[in-house]
Amino acid sequence: MGEGLILNHQRNSAISLPRVLGFISVVGIVVGTMIGSGIFIVPANIAGAVQSPILLLAVWVVGGILSFFGALSFAELSAIFPQAGGMYVYLREAYGSLIAFLFGWTMFLVIDSGSMATLAVAFSSKYLPQFLKLSYWETKAVAVSLIIFLSVINYLGVRWGAFVQNLLTVIKFSALVGVCSVVFIFAKGNVSNFVWPAPSSFSLDLIGKFGVAMVASLWALKGWEVVSFSAGEVKRPEKNLPLGILAGILIVIFIYLAANLAYLYAFPASEMAKSNRIGSDAMNFAIGPLGASLVAVAILFSISGAINGHILTGPRVYFAMARDGIFFHNIAKVHPRFLTPHVSIMAIGIWSVLLCFTGTFEQLFTFVVFGLWIFFGLTVATVIIFRKKRPDLPRPYRTWGYPLTPVLFILSALFISLNTLVNEFWNSFAGLAIIFLGIPAYLYWKGKLRK
């Protein structure tokens, strides 16, 4: 049995994933995965939590800075290890296979699949109903169909997945620029909404609310890390990965801040907090129902692009785990014709479909952010570990601001995780339980590998 498993691993390793993704595709993956439903939905959650426009903007600025600091470290790591799996590879090389497996396990069960399910549910339940009245089961059917459709595209080839990603990225970015421009030009807004009402007095309660609001902003900013998972398919990865990651995240931070300023120009923070579709409401305020309908269509494309970004990248993590022998061995297969990790793509697609039938939008993204930021902190810490223990590694790119920027990111990741645990205890506890359930699963696969 052990010899057969070894032969399977050797056979699966014979076919490699081709390097076909260029700089534009790297930027497209970063921007296209980050811009999903979040910027059109969560500003209301943030406004409701902090109530002040100054604090609302501060949440986005701090979230953007933290994400950029993390991207700086990921840029160095991706240039050192340009292999399929991204974070999984960095964690494996720094801490060993158990921590790396727990990341991949959580990624499969919650982080990646939860993101896809959350986005698909937002597509079918929050924006499509502006055009079609759907029953509960019709809403679920649309969410499931979207995931299956995009999974099939990525099954057929990474070039197809990248083409769809780049196309949808152009559409969604243009839509956000259009929303900002139309609101500022045509809406009869009020610039006093940028500063009034003033923040409440400093307190521990305010810190807690700011932390909760940060969870929402980080959901909207999530996605800059995913291109590292596809590092094994990037041409000239030592150059294209770091430049693409940093360029992509700067583009998103800029357009997110512009969008929030546009929303505030149209509505005071108290009114933003009441909106379930702030992008559409802002356009409706500016030019009427037609504008709201146009932005709703753009949002549907935007959400589709974010889901496609996860399908294009995430399966590479499970593919790398399987090639290490600590996941289902069939997931390590590469399609002989399409040269994609087709079994891995099918597996995450099926699990995401099942998640569409569980939980609410808020519960799912709380699971995702809490679990992800634990591993974000651990991953960025590997930059410091590798600098100390493996100074001989080739580093085509070195983290700007080292060691300050990695340390600030790690401390922030710790704060976000602890704050989420305190303020969203049961959701966070569920996330922790899922992580620790990976330990017996790891021991099972590790035992099979030894036989």
**What pLDDT does 367 receive?**
65
* Entry pTM: 0.87
**The token pair that represents 244 in the structure block:** 């693409």
Is the CA virtual torsion 162, 222, 38, 245 positive or negative? negative
Return the closest-CA partner of residue 434 out of 342, 346, 355: 355
**Which residues lie closer than 8 Å to 320 by C-beta, 6 or more apart?**
83, 84, 85, 88, 89, 104
Number of domains in the chain: 1
Q: What's the CATH number where 29 sits?
A: 1.20.1740.10
pLDDT, tens digit, 9 for 90 and up, residues 367-412: 666 778 889 999 999 999 999 999 999 999 999 999 999 999 999 8
**What pLDDT does 360 receive?**
59
Lowest mean pLDDT of 84-93, 210-219, 345-354, 422-431, name the range.
422-431
Return the closest-CA partner of residue 399 out of 414, 409, 389: 409
pLDDT above 80 for 424: no
Amino acid found at 80: I
Range of the domain at 193: 2-450
**What pLDDT does 6 receive?**
41
CB 384 within 8 A of CB 408: no
Residue 8, judged by CB atoms within 10 A of its CB (0-12, 13-18, 19+), counts as middle
pLDDT above 80 for 136: yes
pLDDT, tens digit, 9 for 90 and up, residues 85-99: 999 999 999 999 999
Distance between CA atoms of residues 451 and 447, nearest Å: 7
Distance between CA atoms of residues 342 and 153, nearest Å: 11
Q: Reduce the DSSP state of residue 169 to 3 states and report it.
A: helix
**The token pair that represents 338 in the structure block:** 């399409």
pLDDT band at 44 (very low <50, low <70, confident <90, very high): confident
pLDDT above 80 for 222: yes
